[in-house]
Amino acid sequence: MSETTYDVRIWKIQTRKNKQGKVTSYRVRWEVGSQDRSDSFKNKAQAESFRSDLVSAARKGEAFAIGTGMPVSMTRQINEMSWFDFACAYVDMKWPDQSGNSRKGIAETLTTVAPAMLSSERGKPDEKILRDALFGWAFNCSRRDTVEQPARIKAALKWLAANTKPVSALAEPACLREVLRLIATRLDGKSSAASVVSRKRAVLHNALDYAVERKLLDRNPLPELKWAPPKSVQAIDKRTVVNHQQALKLLEAVREQGPSGPRLVAFFGVMYYAAARPAEAVNLRRGDVLLPEMVRDPESGEWVEPQDGWGELLLSESAPETGARWSSTGKRRDRRQLKHRGRGDTRPVPCPPPLVRILREHMRAYPPRPSGQLFYGLRGGELSQSTYGHAWERARKAALTPAEFASPLAKRPYDLRHAAVSTWLSAGVPPTQVAEWAGHSVTVLLQIYAKCLAGQEDAARRRIQEVLSAE
């Protein structure tokens, strides 16, 4: 349980108003030791009643709990549970409904914060063994009790079960602050990326909510702690986005990359021309591809592509590579609904004539598998991230100048999607339509993609100049 103190100050009730001057809530603020506390209420009577209880307890000489900020008499009975047992219970609760990547992210976060929750250093196993035991075994439901554990892992888990603090320790600001410090720091001591900190903090917040639900904490202490996370950069780095000529050079260079190259041109083409995410492209099936009918050339009599013939892609599923340990099927990839969509929802995306030709050529050379899957490995298995990642790296080196290769330009295949969305925007397609095709909200679209394409500012300046120059 938390330590207590008699050093308490209680302030007058504060009102909060909106822009129209209407009172929206009443805030009770008090100080316990050096910790500032507050609680808000919808109506004044509730706030006055709560403040009166605090004042009454202080006048009676009652101790206040530092961790919760509440008088001992008002503190609910808190159950005690070790952090290790709680973390395993939290993983068990989340596991059934999470994707493989989400499961991995939860395990990574809980492993990251573990050092702050150790209660002893005596007999402590090696740091790497502890991380392996937590990430690969304790926080993986499919391996914790079903796979034979090496002796070093078994010993580490036994030590952890006996040497972690109670969950209630997280109510102490010093403990919680150390947890956040670990979230914001990489193993090499450098600062974590803002996006990583944000993701891990979200997992921690959810875990603390679960602790409240289990009556292991009075309230979630995270919102009350004054801690500034690294500032997140939402906009895409314009240096990563290729123009059309660069994209064509890259696709042609992919074709030259060994035995896998020719069959990957269409895979990368779907990202560049249709803004598919890699996990969406890799799961594309023949039934998802609607191509225009070919027409007979009146002079040669041969069947040819119709001039300006557009098709359509019906993106229906995503198959992110999570690793067999984290998937529900035991396979490398988990097939799931599209990002931000319900199960069974589809996202129609236009298929421009260049992509129509690329896909038609691909299906002639590499017929779809019996399942309809368009993209697969040389031996017919799933297309792995390492296979297309290595091919992309070699294609960049072949197609780009040394300076471009050393830059962030198209560093990842995902950057082709950024180029596609930016191309649509710069072509004047309404943001609402672009957002629908890309699978984003309009707000996210404008925050992240609107200024990506190189030269877009110049075109905007020319349009403004034309207006200003008109007589």
Asked if pLDDT for residue 29 goes beyond 60, the answer is yes
Asked if pLDDT for residue 464 goes beyond 80, the answer is no
pTM of the predicted structure, to 2 decimals: 0.69
Helix (H, G, I), strand (E, B) or coil at 455: coil
238-414: CATH, from 3.40.630, 1.10.150, 1.10.287, 1.10.443: 1.10.443
d(CA 153, CA 179): 24
Helix (H, G, I), strand (E, B) or coil at 63: coil
Q: What is the pLDDT of residue 28?
A: 93
Q: Is the dihedral of CA 99, 100, 104, 110 positive or negative?
A: positive
**DSSP run (H or E) holding 261:** helix 261-274
What is the Cα 265 distance to its own chain's centre?
28
Q: What is the mean pLDDT of residues 376-389?
A: 90
Q: What is the pLDDT of residue 58?
A: 94
Confidence of residue 381 (pLDDT cuts 50, 70, 90): confident
Helix (H, G, I), strand (E, B) or coil at 263: helix
The amino acid occupying position 275 is A
For residue range 224-276, what is the model confidence (pLDDT) as tens digits?
888 887 776 667 788 889 999 999 999 999 999 989 999 999 999 999 999 99
Q: What is the pLDDT of residue 233?
A: 62
Instruction: Report the 10 Å Cβ neighbour count for 380.
Output: 9
DSSP assignment of 398-429: HHS-HHHHHSSTT-STHHHHHHHHHHHHHTT-
The amino acid occupying position 333 is R
Helix (H, G, I), strand (E, B) or coil at 5: strand
d(CA 135, CA 139): 6
Least confident among 119-133, 244-258, 275-289, 307-321:
307-321
Q: Which residues pair with 421 in a beta bridge?
A: none
